[in-house]
Amino acid sequence: MKRFLFCISYNGSAYHGWQVQKNSLTVQHVVQDAIEKVTGFRNDVVACSRTDAGVHANNFFFHMDSDLKITPYNMRRAVSGYLPLDIEIKSVIEVDSSFHARYSAKSKEYIYKIWNSKIRNPFLNNLVWNYGRCLNLDRVKLAAKELIGEHDFTSFCSVKSDVKNKVRTLHNIEVLKDDSMVNFKLVGNGFLHNMVRIIVGTLVNVSEGLIDPMSVRDIINKKDRKAAGKTAPPYGLYLNNVTY
């Protein structure tokens, strides 16, 4: 039995997230359909993470086991032939049976893209958050520093989350501007449901003057979702990479 590690990228605009759901088209469902056409069997796949409806991925990883006599190179070519144009297999490698796409991960990196202009870019529709008010990046960066480190991120987690331990370590937040594009890059040992989107939404509220930059630590300490800002739209979010 071989264990294959897939790295894929996808445009999540047409999908209701990664994980299989009843009566909804998901990335996992489409990927498993393609793999089944190659292996003749509906292989279980184990993902590095989940993504919500409309969220994208530049480098998303999952592993699966198969006794099919096929090389990783030919596996990639064969499965790719059954995938739509908005999902691409970037690589397939064989890994040790002890490897786990989720639990072997050391850190994850997300990018959130904001098109910060009063003029919308139609070529970025569903790929960025079109935000027309000028972002005050000095205030945003000041507030972002308060989020770095190990914290209980309950205030920055969806109330629907059933995860009991909400302590995570946020290694770094970068805020990078290139013309009208503002990229938020977040690296951490793990992320809670909607955590990145709530952090970005809160930082936008800081820019708007609705939240004081130096009150972010108080928001963390309150451990209350209502204390934080709005949730940014899903379509600006990308799972950018996973470090193993």
pLDDT tens-digit series, residues 37-48? 999 999 999 999
CATH class for domain 107-243? alpha beta
Mean pLDDT of 197-226: 97
DSSP conformation letters of 180-220: TEEEEEEEES---TTHHHHHHHHHHHHHTTSS-GGGHHHHH
Residue 178 known to be catalytic: no
148 DSSP assignment: -
Question: CB burial class (10 A; 0-12, 13-18, 19+) of residue 39?
Answer: middle
- Average pLDDT over all residues of the chain: 97
121-141 pLDDT, tens per residue? 999 999 999 999 999 999 999
More confident of the two residues 161 and 156: 156
pLDDT recorded at residue 162: 86
Chain centroid to Cα 66, Å, comes to: 27
**CA distance to 43, 50, 72, 87, per residue, from 32 (Å):** 7, 15, 16, 12
158-203 pLDDT, tens per residue? 998 889 999 999 999 999 999 999 999 999 999 999 999 999 999 9
Spot the catalytic one: 33, 44, 52, 178.
52
Q: Both tokens of residue 144? A: 């972002």
**CA distance to 39, 53, 175, per residue, from 56 (Å):** 27, 9, 19
pLDDT of 16 > 90? The answer is yes
Nearest Cα to Cα of residue 19 among 57, 75, 65, 67: 57
pLDDT recorded at residue 238: 98
pLDDT recorded at residue 160: 87
Same CATH topology for 2-95 and 107-243: the answer is: yes
* Per-residue buried b or exposed e for 155-186, using 16+ beta carbons within 10 Å of the residue's own CB: bbbbeeeeeeebebebeebebeeeebebbbeb
The position carrying tokens 């509220």 is: 205
Q: Both tokens of residue 92? A: 């397939």
pLDDT recorded at residue 61: 98
Say what percent of the chain tops pLDDT 70.
100
pLDDT of 118 > 90? The answer is yes
Q: Both tokens of residue 193? A: 């449901």
DSSP conformation letters of 101-115: TTTT--EEEEEEEEE
28-38 pLDDT, tens per residue? 999 999 999 99
| DSSP H helices in 16-168 | 27-39, 72-80, 137-145
Residue 183, beta-bridge partner list: 113, 176
Q: Is the pTM of this model over 0.75?
A: yes
* Pairwise CA distance, residues 33 & 128, whole Å: 29
CATH number corresponding to 2-95: 3.30.70.580
pLDDT recorded at residue 184: 98
The domain segmentation of the chain, as residue ranges, is 2-95, 107-243
**CA distance to 108, 122, 127, 210, per residue, from 140 (Å):** 22, 26, 22, 12
